[in-house]
Amino acid sequence: MTVPRGTKKTRNGEPMESPQFLIVDGTLVTLGSANQVIHDAFVAVESGKIRAFGDSRAVPADCREWPTLSAKGKVILPGFINAHTHLYSTFARGMSVHDPMTSFGEILERLWWRLDQTLTTDDIHYSALIALADCLRKGITTLFDHHSSPRCPRSSLDSIAEAFRKMSLRGCLCFEVTDRHGPEAALHGIEENRRFLEALNSKGGQEDLLTGMMGLHASFTLGPETLSLAIEAARQYAVGVHIHVAEGPEDVRDCEEKYGKTVVERLLHAGALGPRSILAHCVNISPSDIGILSDTGASVVLNPQSNMNNAVGRAPAHELLSRGVKVGLGSDGFNSGLARELQTLSLVTKHSLGDPRGISFDRLYQIAFANNAAIARRFFRHSVGEIAEGAPADLIFINYDPPTPLSTSNFMGHFLFGMAEGQVDTVFVGGKKLLQGGKLLHIDEEAMTRKSRELAGRLWDRF
């Protein structure tokens, strides 16, 4: 596209800091429920929102004098959404666990449940900062974080929220409630969720970047009284629960032995399921469980890399989607990205089924893009995850100049086998540029990483 005459640009061709700017020259992929691929496209951004987009020949007359940013050789997409992660897991990177772990239960007990008890307020903040920096570099602009620090519960969500504000990313936060440290600690967990939700209510239910849920660990670490109190609190604040469900066999066995029910049945009878509930994993569920999830409108978030790493199995994605369950995609803290998670979902489905058809491109698109965006819309006041007029300007540029024709019909082939390996060059959230040339802006990353390394070393000494 030829930049319109009179356009104001900085010396290096980037737009000046302005509440209005025009992105030109790139290939635009809108995502959303009606994906479009537009070559030689423009996106007009005004006051942090998308004013208009389309073919470069249709730039509105009153936008043609705006500062411009060229996306030549790049694909423009809405920022990605990670629907289930654990930011605090950052400090486990490179850490040695000497005792061999031969089951999922041992992984929890010898690694994660020891790590989360060791976290300090500074650890919580810096592990979130580092994880969010990784997310930016991989095009993630909205995250659902599930936090645990049972020895440091009070104001832990504030430490994470401050990291989101510093990095200017969107987050839905919760604190993991569990009985594994006794009833008093469980009450502290519920209170931390209450306190954070109350603070959000004082701002009209949420702020521009942040919202919240009621976090629960899993059925096998939640007694009846704690589960009931947590669900009551979730109802009081009109939020859903965010919980791990049937991730490993331990959860399934415990529920059958103690309650004579499946995990999903127990949650149904406790009143935990509904359109604002997020159930992570759902690896070991039954056909009748899938019917319950479909009837209640609860969302299921898959985490295939984590499930493979823990050797717990594969969630029945086909069956869930076929019954109309809203199935999304997360990383469970295994990594920060979405692209590799989607590649893994495709490959593990083919491998486990012994069928090269695996899961179709249409269904992969539905999970990672349409459904993740739909799940996010249940919690955020903005329509994230798609390029649409009036939507927030959460945009990413990926360095990818397609070597073969790119269209709406073959987008997923390009994404899985090309775009997914491309570098995320530029990221905007709410029209604010956060990443350029793959480098973080407005953040002293060297100082942040140095401090993180120092804190992680101390945590390892305490572990």
Domain containing residue 412: CATH number: 2.30.40.10
Report the SS3 class of residue 339: helix
Is residue 74 domain-shared with residue 84, that is, in the same domain? no
pLDDT of residue 17: 60
Is residue 170 domain-shared with residue 103, that is, in the same domain? yes
* Domain tally, the chain: 2
Across 415-459, where does the E strand assignment appear?
424-429, 432-436, 439-440
Is residue 152 domain-shared with residue 275, that is, in the same domain? yes
Report the SS3 class of residue 392: strand
Q: Exposed e or buried b for every residue in 218-257, given b needs 16+ CB within 10 A?
A: bbbbbeeebbebbbebbeebebbbbbbbbbbebbbebbee
pLDDT in tens, the chain (463 residues): 444 433 444 434 454 467 999 999 999 999 988 899 999 999 999 999 999 999 999 999 999 999 999 999 999 999 999 999 999 999 999 988 877 899 999 999 999 999 999 999 999 999 999 999 999 999 999 999 999 999 888 899 999 999 999 999 999 999 999 999 999 999 999 999 999 999 998 876 567 899 999 999 999 999 999 999 999 999 999 999 999 999 999 999 999 999 999 999 999 999 999 999 999 999 999 999 999 999 999 999 999 999 999 999 999 999 999 999 999 999 999 988 889 999 999 999 999 999 999 899 999 999 999 999 999 999 998 889 999 999 999 999 999 999 999 999 999 999 999 998 889 999 999 999 999 999 999 999 999 999 999 999 999 999 9
Is residue 170 domain-shared with residue 41, that is, in the same domain? no
Is residue 397 domain-shared with residue 312, that is, in the same domain? no
CATH number at 222 reads: 3.20.20.140
Is residue 67 domain-shared with residue 87, that is, in the same domain? no
pLDDT of residue 34: 87
Exposed, middle or buried, 47 (CB in 10 Å: 0-12/13-18/19+)?
A: exposed
Across 47-155, where does the E strand assignment appear?
49-55, 68-70, 74-78, 80-85, 140-147
- Could you tell me which of 177, 236, 241, 199 has the C-alpha nearest to residue 379? 241
Domain membership of residue 446 (yes or no) is: no
Tell me which residue has tokens 């406790």. 270
Size of the chain, expressed as the number of residues it contains: 463
Look at residues 342, 377, 412 and tell me which one is the last residue of a structural domain: 377
- Side chain identity at residue 113, one-letter code: W
Domain membership of residue 4 (yes or no) is: no
Is residue 105 domain-shared with residue 129, that is, in the same domain? yes
Is residue 90 domain-shared with residue 73, that is, in the same domain? no
Distance CA 288, CA 311 (A): 24
Report the SS3 class of residue 19: coil
Is residue 213 domain-shared with residue 318, that is, in the same domain? yes
Domain membership of residue 417 (yes or no) is: yes
Look at residues 358, 377, 396 and tell me which one is the last residue of a structural domain: 377
Paired tokens of 344: 């893994």
| Helix 183-201, helix 156-167: angle, nearest 10 | 40
pLDDT of residue 136: 96
Exposed, middle or buried, 190 (CB in 10 Å: 0-12/13-18/19+)?
A: buried
Is residue 118 domain-shared with residue 215, that is, in the same domain? yes
Judge whether 53 and 43 are in contact, CB under 8 Å: yes
Containing structural domain, residue 159: 80-377
Is residue 348 domain-shared with residue 249, that is, in the same domain? yes
